[in-house]
C-alpha cells in the first residue's frame, strides 16, 4: 500500500468534478487484473515444453512477481475503445513477455550486472549467462507469435493486428526501447542534461508503456484523436513512473522494491532526484499525473482505472 498520509494531495479530475483517489478500491481492482493476466501468462508459457531448461527459464523470468502494469494497460486500451479486455489478452501477455525479456537482458553482466530482480536472483544467476540471453530472445519471439495469434480472437479485424504489431515493434526497436538502453549505456557515469534524461526515459521506459496501451486500443478499433490522447497519457505516465522510480531508489524500502536502494548513485546515474532534489522531483511527478488526467478528459468513466493508475505511478512503493 502507498502512503495514506499523502492521499489528500492525489485528486483526479473527471470532467469538472474533482474525485479523490480511492486507494483501497484501486488496489483491489489492480489485484483482480493482475491475477487474470498471470493466469493467462501461465497458459501461454508451458513449463513442460521441450527442451526443459529454456522453458523453465522463461517461466522463471516471467513468474517472479511483477506488477503487470503494461499488460493491464493493453486490456484497458480495449475497454477504452468499448470492447472487452478478453479480446486483447494474447497481445497483453506478449507485452509482458517483452518487458520481462528487457529485464533479463538489462540484468546481464554486460549491461547493468544485477544479481537481484523483483527480490529474487536474476535469470543469469540461476540459469547462467548464455541461457539468460536465449531466454530473453525466446520471450521476444514468443511475444510476436502471440500477437499474431491475437487475430484468431472473436471480433478482431486482422488489419488491426498488423497495425498493433507495427506499433509494438517500433516501440521496442532501435528508435524505441533499445535506443533508450543504448543511450543509457553510452551516458553511464556522466552527468547529463534534463533534455537528454527525458529523451532516454521516453525511449527506454515510455515507449513500451505507450505501445502497451495503444496496442489494446488499436486492436479494439480505436483511431484518430482518441488514440492521440492515449499517446499523451502514456508520455506523462512514463515520466511520472520514472520519477517515482528515481525517488524509490533513494527513499524506498529494499525489501519491497526487490533490489538494493541507492544503486543509481552507486552507478553515477543522472536521475530526476540528482538533478532537482527529492521534493522538486515529487512535484514534477505530481504535475505529470495531472497531465495524465488532462489527456483523458475526452473519456468518461471507462477511463477511471487509468486515472487511478496515474496516481498509483506516484504512490507506488515498488
Ligand atoms: C536490454 C533490450 C534491453 C532493454 C532494456 C526497459 C529496459 C531497457 C530495462 C529495464 C530496466 C529498468 C530499471 C528500467 C527503468 C524502469 C523500469 C522499466 C522498471 C521496471 O518496471 P516495473 O516497475 O517492473 O513495471 P515490474 O517488476 O513490476 O514488472
Show me where the domains of the chain are located.
5-315
CA-nearest residue, atom 14 of ligand 1: 205
In this model, does residue 127 exceed pLDDT 50? yes
Does domain 5-315 fall into CATH 3.40.50.10800?
Answer: no
In this model, does residue 283 exceed pLDDT 50? yes
Nearest one of 184, 48, 58 to 133, comparing CA atoms = 58
CB-CB neighbours of 193 under 10 Å: 10
Mean pLDDT of the chain: 91
In this model, does residue 3 exceed pLDDT 60? no
- Segment among 39-48, 68-77, 203-212 with least mean pLDDT: 39-48
Across 87-110, average pLDDT: 98
Residue 161: predicted pLDDT: 98
The percent of residues above 70 in pLDDT, for the chain, comes to 93
Across 26-53, average pLDDT: 95
CA-nearest residue, atom 29 of ligand 1: 66
In this model, does residue 182 exceed pLDDT 70? yes
- How confident is residue 193, by pLDDT bands cut at 50, 70 and 90? very high
Across 122-132, average pLDDT: 98
In this model, does residue 201 exceed pLDDT 70? yes
SS3 assignment for 233-297 = HHHHHHHHHHHHHHHHHHHCCHHHHCCCCCHHHHCCCCCHHHHHCHHHHHHHHHHHHHHHHHHCC
Query: Mutate which of 168, 171, 204 to test ligand 1's pocket (most atoms within 8 Å of Cβ)?
Result: 204
Query: Mutate which of 41, 103, 111, 203 to test ligand 1's pocket (most atoms within 8 Å of Cβ)?
Result: 103
CB-CB neighbours of 177 under 10 Å: 22
The percent of residues above 90 in pLDDT, for the chain, comes to 79
Cis, bond preceding 51 (omega within 30 deg of 0): yes
Most confident range, picked from 21-35, 96-110, 270-284: 96-110
Query: Looking at residue 118, what DSSP letter applies?
Result: T
CA-nearest residue, atom 27 of ligand 1: 66
At 36-45, the pLDDT tens digits run 999 999 999 9
Pocket of ligand 1 (CB under 6 A): 66-67, 69, 99, 102-103, 105-106, 111, 118, 177-178, 181, 204-205, 245
Q: Give pTM, 2 decimals.
A: 0.92
Residue 251: predicted pLDDT: 83
- How confident is residue 19, by pLDDT bands cut at 50, 70 and 90? low
Residue 269: predicted pLDDT: 87
- How confident is residue 5, by pLDDT bands cut at 50, 70 and 90? very low
At 227-254, the pLDDT tens digits run 999 999 999 999 999 999 999 999 877 7
- Segment among 55-59, 115-119, 216-220, 300-304 with least mean pLDDT: 115-119
Amino acid at each position: 500500500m502507498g502512503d495514506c498520509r499523502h492521499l489528500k494531495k492525489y485528486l483526479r479530475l473527471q470532467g469538472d468534478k474533482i474525485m479523490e483517489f480511492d486507494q483501497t478500491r484501486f488496489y483491489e481492482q489492480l489485484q483482480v487484473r493482475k491475477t487474470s493476466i498471470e493466469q493467462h501468462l501461465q497458459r501461454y508459457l508451458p513449463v513442460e515444453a521441450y527442451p526443459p531448461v529454456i522453458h523453465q527459464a522463461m517461466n522463471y523470468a516471467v513468474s517472479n512477481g511483477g506488477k503487470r502494469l503494461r499488460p493491464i494497460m493493453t486490456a484497458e486500451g480495449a475497454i477504452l475503445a468499448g470492447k472487452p479486455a478478453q479480446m486483447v489478452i494474447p497481445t497483453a501477455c506478449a507485452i509482458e513477455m517483452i518487458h520481462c525479456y528487457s529485464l533479463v537482458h538489462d540484468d546481464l553482466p554486460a549491461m547493468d550486472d544485477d544479481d537481484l530482480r523483483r527480490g529474487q536472483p536474476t535469470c543469469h544467476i540461476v540459469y547462467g549467462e548464455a541461457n539468460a540471453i536465449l531466454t530473453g530472445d525466446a520471450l521476444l519471439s514468443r511475444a510476436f507469435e502471440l500477437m499474431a495469434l491475437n487475430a484468431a480472437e472473436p471480433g478482431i479485424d486482422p488489419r488491426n493486428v498488423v497495425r498493433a504489431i507495427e506499433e509494438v515493434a517500433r516501440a521496442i526497436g532501435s528508435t524505441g526501447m533499445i535506443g533508450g538502453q543504448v543511450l543509457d549505456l553510452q551516458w553511464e557515469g556522466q552527468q547529463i542534461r534534463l533534455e537528454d534524461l527525458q529523451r532516454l526515459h521516453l525511449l527506454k521506459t515510455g515507449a513500451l508503456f505507450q505501445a502497451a496501451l495503444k496496442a489494446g486500443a488499436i486492436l479494439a478499433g480505436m483511431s484518430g484523436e482518441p488514440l492521440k490522447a492515449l499517446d499523451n497519457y502514456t508520455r506523462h505516465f512514463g515520466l511520472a513512473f520514472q520519477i517515482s522510480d528515481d525517488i524509490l531508489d533513494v527513499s524506498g524500502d529494499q525489501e519491497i522494491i526487490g533490489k538494493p536502494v541507492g544503486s543509481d548513485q552507486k552507478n553515477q546515474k543522472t536521475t530526476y532526484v540528482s538533478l532537482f532534489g527529492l521534493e522538486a522531483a515529487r512535484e514534477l511527478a505530481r504535475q505529470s499525473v495531472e497531465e495524465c488526467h488532462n489527456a483523458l478528459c475526452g473519456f468518461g468513466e471507462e477511463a477511471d482505472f487509468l486515472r487511478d493508475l496515474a496516481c498509483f505511478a506516484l504512490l507506488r512503493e515498488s
